[in-house]
Amino acid sequence: MFFKLILEGGHLGAGKSYDIVKYLRGRDIVAVLTWAFHIPRAKKKESGKGVKLIKEISKSEYLLGKIREQNDPYLNPPNRRLHGGQGYTRQGEVG
In a domain, 9, yes or no: yes
In a domain, 86, yes or no: no
Residue 51: pLDDT band with limits 50, 70, 90: confident
pLDDT tens profile 15-50: 777 788 889 998 999 988 888 887 777 766 655 667
Q: How many residues belong to the chain? A: 95
In a domain, 28, yes or no: yes
The residue among 17, 23, 8, 12 whose CA lies nearest residue 70 is 23
Domain encompassing residue 30: 2-70
Q: Measure the CA–CA gap between 58 and 71, rounded to whole angstroms.
A: 20
Q: Measure the CA–CA gap between 59 and 71, rounded to whole angstroms.
A: 19
In a domain, 59, yes or no: yes
In a domain, 79, yes or no: no
Residue 67 or residue 42, greater confidence = 67
Residue 12: pLDDT band with limits 50, 70, 90: low
**Residue 82 pLDDT > 70:** no
In a domain, 14, yes or no: yes
The residue among 83, 68, 76, 17 whose CA lies nearest residue 44 is 17
In a domain, 77, yes or no: no
In a domain, 75, yes or no: no
Contact 82, 88 (CB under 8 A): yes
